[in-house]
Structure 1
Amino acid sequence: MKKIAVFLLSVIVFSCSPTRKYEKTAKSWEPEIQKLEAKDKIEKDPENAVLFIGSSSIRLWKNIEKDMAPYPVIQRGYGGAKFTDLIVFTKRIVEPHKFRAVAIFVANDISGSKDDKTPREVLGLFKGVEKIIRKKNKNQPIFFIAITPTMSRWQVWPQIREANALIESYCKTKKNLFFINTEAAYLGADGKPIDEYFISDKLHQTQKGYDVWAKAIKSEFDQVLK
């Protein structure tokens, strides 16, 4: 009876796994993940690198190596990543690498669409990603880069801001888990996102925007990693 109970419990846990829950919807990103895995086979990771994972703002950061110097980087962003698919692919993206720290930026779970997650759901998904990373990386610092305020999603900025606040509060309760707050750096005197930091879609960043991002990220790295 005991063995049967243990088996049934394992079935319940597996079926309730957040990874399993989102596998079907995450399938569309499989080609992108395979491209990252192909890079893993031909690129040699720098010593003591920071692994950057997440959505297109990571993928499109053309000058990331220069902008983040002297911190070596491994760049593994893809498409319009959401936590609902990153949680499925985290193991495949993270485990091939040896790194000093991980930096995560995911900004698409709240975008103003009918499929948006609530701020608390975003927090829960972030916790799920953290848990997967921690299975084989017990002590490396994990940094969450705050979701950036943008005009293209300004109508849902209150919800995004709440998600940021929930993740920030959670990070404060955990060892080696850090929140990089970028909100103030992106808002002008009128309280809205500064136009010159974003390209025409009002979502992705110009190099001036990346300069601001790099400064905020490196400031936190300097406090934690040095």
Structure 2
Amino acid sequence: MFWYHDEIEALEKQRTASEHNPDTIFYGSSTIRLWPDLQTDFKDLNAVNLGFGGSTLAACTWFFDRVMLGYQPKRLVLYAGDNDLGDGRHPEEVFLFFQQFAARVNHEFGDIPCYYITLKPSIARWGIVDRFKFTNHIIGEEIKNNLPNWHLIDIFSAMLNADGYPNAEYFLDDGLHLSEKGYDVWRDSIKNALS
């Protein structure tokens, strides 16, 4: 986990320097970190961006204390797991990391509303799309059956074209990160879920 050190240290400094407590934490991988207008898009939710590049769900859990402690959010939005699968982990491993993360959130923040954004159908990782679908399914079932304060935001379906493939307009040339239009879809989907 040493390769995340600089970004985690920056997030720690950001928390220390902050003069107000955000109501909404956005946490997760580079899809969150690179969101250019996140705080503006969710200004009414008093949001803070705590994403760090390349992060896995395992890393989000590992660094929870260093990044989160000191905040007192009213809600949390998480996007992670994409990179775990990209690194060769299995859906069941990602599921276990999610369970650990949810338990950590509950221990620290109580039963605040939490939102898990399903893994996106990126062009670059379409070759392992079945793993993405299965991960989304088992995490969705866990939320439905065992985590009443968690909610699933289905971004996967929203990013497909009429033929059932990733809509290229929503991605940058790398086929992984989001374009401006992609972030528009995310913004609208998340706002609908949180309203």
| Same fold, TM-score > 0.5, yes or no | yes
- In the alignment, which residue of structure 1 is the partner of 2:16? 41
Stretches of structure 1 that go unaligned for 5 or more consecutive residues are 1-25
Please say if residues 73 and 109 of structure 2, whose CA atoms lie closer than 8 Å, have aligned partners that are also in contact. Answer: no
- Give the superposition deviation at 1:46: 4.6
Query: Secondary structure of the residue that 2:25 maps to in structure 1?
Result: strand
Query: Secondary structure of the residue that 2:48 maps to in structure 1?
Result: strand
- In the alignment, which residue of structure 1 is the partner of 2:112? 140
- Give the superposition deviation at 1:204: 0.6
Which one of the candidate residues 185, 192, 196 is aligned to 2:169?
196
Which structure has the greater CA radius of gyration? 1
Query: Secondary structure of the residue that 1:199 maps to in structure 2?
Result: coil
Query: Secondary structure of the residue that 2:109 maps to in structure 1?
Result: coil
Please say if residues 143 and 151 of structure 2, whose CA atoms lie closer than 8 Å, have aligned partners that are also in contact. Answer: yes
Q: Distance in 1 between matches of 2:178 and 2:42?
A: 16
- Give the superposition deviation at 1:117: 1.4
- Give the superposition deviation at 1:58: 0.7
Query: Secondary structure of the residue that 2:45 maps to in structure 1?
Result: coil
1:179 aligned partner, one-letter code: L
- Give the superposition deviation at 1:35: 0.7
Q: Distance in 2 between matches of 1:217 and 1:169?
A: 19
Corresponding position: 1:221 with 2:191: no
- Give the superposition deviation at 1:132: 1.3
RMSD of aligned residue pairs (Cα, Å)? 1.2
Alignment of 1:1-226 (within 5 A): 26-46=1-21, 49-106=23-80, 107-111=82-86, 113=87, 116-173=88-145, 174-222=147-195
Please say if residues 87 and 125 of structure 1, whose CA atoms lie closer than 8 Å, have aligned partners that are also in contact. Answer: yes
- Give the superposition deviation at 1:184: 1.7
Instruction: Give the count of matched residue pairs.
Output: 193
**Identity among equivalent pairs (%):** 28
Please say if residues 27 and 76 of structure 2, whose CA atoms lie closer than 8 Å, have aligned partners that are also in contact. Answer: yes
Query: Secondary structure of the residue that 2:78 maps to in structure 1?
Result: strand
- Give the superposition deviation at 1:68: 2.1
Please say if residues 55 and 77 of structure 1, whose CA atoms lie closer than 8 Å, have aligned partners that are also in contact. Answer: yes
Stretches of structure 2 that go unaligned for 5 or more consecutive residues are none
1:171 aligned partner, one-letter code: I
2:67 aligned partner, one-letter code: I
- Provide TM-score, normalisation by structure 1: 0.82
2:9 aligned partner, one-letter code: Q
2:85 aligned partner, one-letter code: I
2:180 aligned partner, one-letter code: Q
- In the alignment, which residue of structure 2 is the partner of 1:13? none
Query: Secondary structure of the residue that 2:111 maps to in structure 1?
Result: coil
1:105 aligned partner, one-letter code: Y
Please say if residues 30 and 54 of structure 2, whose CA atoms lie closer than 8 Å, have aligned partners that are also in contact. Answer: yes
- In the alignment, which residue of structure 2 is the partner of 1:6? none
